[in-house]
Every structure is written in structure tokens, then in C-alpha cells.
Amino acid sequence: MAQQVRGVVAPGRGEPVRIETIIVPDPGPGEAVVKVQACGVCHTDLHYREGGINDEFPFLLGHEAAGVVESVGEGVTEVEPGDFVILNWRAVCGQCRACLRGRPWYCFNTHNAAQKMTLEDGTELSPALGIGAFADKTLVAAGQCTKVDPAAKAEVAGLLGCGVMAGLGAAINTGNVGRGDSVAVIGCGGVGAAAVLGARLAGAARIIAIDLDERKLATSTSLGATNTVHAKDTDVVEAVQELTGGFGADVVIDAVGRPETYKQAFYARDLAGTVVLVGVPTPEMKLELPLLDVFGRGGSLKSSWYGDCLPSRDFPMLIDLYLQGRLDLDAFVSETIELDGVEAAFDKMHHGDVLRSVVVL
Ligand SMILES: NC(=O)c1ccc[n+]([C@@H]2O[C@H](COP(=O)([O-])OP(=O)(O)OC[C@H]3O[C@@H](n4cnc5c(N)ncnc54)[C@H](O)[C@@H]3O)[C@@H](O)[C@H]2O)c1
Ligand SMILES: [Zn+2]
Ligand SMILES: [Zn+2]
């Protein structure tokens, strides 16, 4: 029997979100219904509401979630009812050219539920990133459920489902930060602060946090930044060079995603260093760089999709580190809110007041 639950829907471009009754079908083959316990508010949800991702309104928002599997469809073996899971947007297919070459963290054909959740009148909903978890329950592909230790609080665990994983992975996986490295992070919101934490976990010796907002710099210091740079009235490139013996950092992570921050990242990096772009640019943005500098400075320029994470490998490991007190994920939960608080949370995010507001159900 399909179920009726509450969900936060973005009805049209730029329109405020509202709570609607949504219909969640029983799970079909390869699908699971998950009782959502917590879901963080991510910048990408706001992008959806503003029509910045695509035009497939109405959206069922929310995609940084943890909960308990309620029921599974035919042929599902990876999870069973009662499992505590983090929802991921990288359910690897195992068959695409990336998967077949042993690089499943790039999977080009990730799975989502085949059936659609709908409004009461039958209008089909587009779930954000194939998840749609600002809802009491949601329907996903079973591969989108990654089982982790239920000792972790849901509001913390869910954050690994998107932004915090993207930041940790930008440092650990994409940037391949190692012991003794110098790392600079431009933009220390939820994603950048997680990159700071990831750099520390990986053993970086110097971690430079860069932001326009003092509050973000203070949080980054508590997460392991050794130095901070206020980007407003400072030359960011010079500041990073000064802090790294005049050379630049081994790895620079751009967690803003604008041409000017990317250029700063490019020039704040030591010869043969790595730039990681994890902030998401908008379609009109263009980058101009002397090609000779691209050649002459060597190293690598990489983009990080979802922190190049493999959920089955990374989520349980990071939750275990959290439970051992070695990964301060609690610092990312700025506030917990109810389902009707999402619109206000967008405002707070816009004003830089929070790392994450998390809906708890
Ligand atoms: N690559 C991925 O898979 C992935 C996943 C999730 C989010 N993201 C993207 O990462 C970016 C950051 O997300 P977030 O949730 O941390 O956002 P956020 O709004 O919480 O943080 C952005 C931070 O950048 C700072 N900032 C803005 N302009 C700056 C500048 N010129 N110099 C220095 N600092 C500046 C802001 O003060 C803020 O602290 C967004 O573009 C988001 O869409 C990417
Ligand atoms: Zn694949
Ligand atoms: Zn997100």
C-alpha cells in the first residue's frame, strides 16, 4: 500500500518551499523505503528551488540524510528493514565504463528509484539528487542506502550524505593530502570546513583556512586550521605564500567555485602542487589563465564530485572514526529544526549564520 507522508516541496522557480502531502509507493524491485530521521539543509537544495539545477519542478527537496530502512522490494540483498543507513547519491552501477575499470567513485550511471513519488493529485515529484529526504519517508534505490553503525546520531551521520563528505573527500580522496603537506582551503562553509577537517585527518602539517567571514575562520581553527586568512582585505595568494616559506601550498582547495577564487587557488599553490575545485560554479562563469602558467607550474588541476567518495568504503569508516572521537562531525550541526523550518534555514545559510541546519524528524 502506498503511504501518505509529509514532504518539503519546491513548487516553482524561486517560490518558497511548502509542506505537502506526498505519496510514497511501496518499494519495487531494487528499491527501498526509508524512514528519514534527519536531513541537513545543503546549498544545492537552494539551487534547486531557484531553478539553478534544472526545470523539473516540483522538487521534493533534501538529500543529506540518515534514517532506518522500513521496507525493501524484490531482489534487494544489500539492506534489510531495521538497518540504520546514510542515503547516498552515488549508488554505483557496477557496469559502466568507470565501474568496469575499477573506478566506481566516478560511476557514470548511478541508480535511483525507478518509481516516482507524487503529490496527492498524481503530479510526479523530482527528488533532489534522486533522494528527496525532507520527508517522513522516502523511496530510493536500495544501493543508495549505506549501512553504518547505529550508535551515531542521525543528524550527524546524515551530513556525510553530501556536503561534509564532499569536503572531507576533496582533501582525502581528490587532493590526496598526505602527512606533512601544506593545504589551503578557500571558503570555509560546510564543505570547506570539512576539507580542513579532512586535511587534518590526513596528517597535513599546515592548514590555512581562508574566508570572508570571521565566524567561519573561528570554526575552522577549532577543526584544525593552523592559520587563517581573512580574504576581504588581504592578497590571498601572497598570504598563502608567506605562510609556506614563500612557495605556496601543496594542495589548494577551492570550496567557493568562482573564477576569482579558482585563480587564487591556482597561484597560491606550490610548483607541481594540486588544485581541487569542489565549489560548484554557475553556467555563465568563465576562466582565463595564461596557458604558459598552466604548463609552467605543473602539478594537477582536479575537480571533486562528491569528494570522489565511494559510499560503501567511506561512510562506515568515517562514522567509526567519529564514534572513536577522531572526527569532530558534531561541529557541523549548527542547529536542529523541524520540517517547517527549511525556508528560514535557507536564509540563515545565505547570511552565513550556520554550517548546517539539520531537520530532525
Ligand atoms: N562538488 C560537490 O560534490 C559538492 C557537494 C556539495 C556542495 N558543493 C558546493 O560547494 C560549495 C560550498 O558549499 P557550502 O555548503 O560550504 O556553502 P556555504 O555557503 O556554507 O560556504 C561558502 C563559504 O565561502 C565563503 N566565501 C564566499 N566567497 C568567498 C571568497 N571570495 N573568498 C573566500 N571565501 C568566500 C563564504 O563566506 C562561506 O563561508 C557550493 O558551491 C556547493 O554547491 C559541492
Ligand atoms: Zn557505474
Ligand atoms: Zn548537497
Q: Which of 24-38, 39-53, 196-210 has the lowest mean pLDDT?
A: 39-53
Task: Work out which ligand 1 atom sits closest to the CA atom of 261.
Answer: 31
Mean pLDDT over the full length of the chain: 97
Residue nearest to atom 40 of ligand 1 (CA): 279
Residue holding cell 582525502?
172
Compute CA distances 191 → 183, 229, 254, 319, whole Å.
15, 17, 10, 17
Compute CA distances 128 → 10, 77, 131, 308, 345, whole Å.
10, 25, 6, 19, 17
In contact, 197 and 225? CB cutoff 8 Å:
no
What integer pLDDT is reported at residue 355 of this predicted model? Answer: 93
Cα-to-centroid distance, 43 and ligand 3 (Å): 6
Cα-to-centroid distance, 300 and ligand 1 (Å): 21
Cα-to-centroid distance, 77 and ligand 2 (Å): 19
- Considering every ligand atom, which ligand is closest to the CA of 64? 3
Is ligand 1 within 6 A of the CB of residue 231? yes
Residue pLDDT, tens place only, 171-227: 999 999 999 999 999 999 999 999 999 999 999 999 999 999 999 999 999 999 999
Is ligand 1 within 6 A of the CB of residue 162? yes
What integer pLDDT is reported at residue 27 of this predicted model? Answer: 98
Residue pLDDT, tens place only, 292-343: 999 999 999 999 999 999 999 999 999 999 999 999 999 999 999 999 999 9
C-alpha cell at 94: 557496477
For 69-78, b/e burial (b = at least 16 CB within 10 A) is bbbbbeebeb
Residue holding cell 575562520?
217
Q: Is this structure's pTM higher than 0.85?
A: yes
Segment 215-240 mean pLDDT: 97
Helix (H, G, I), strand (E, B) or coil at 298: coil
Cα-to-centroid distance, 257 and ligand 1 (Å): 7
Task: Work out which ligand 1 atom sits closest to the CA atom of 260.
Answer: 31
For residue 282, pLDDT over 90 is answered with no
- Considering every ligand atom, which ligand is closest to the CA of 99? 2
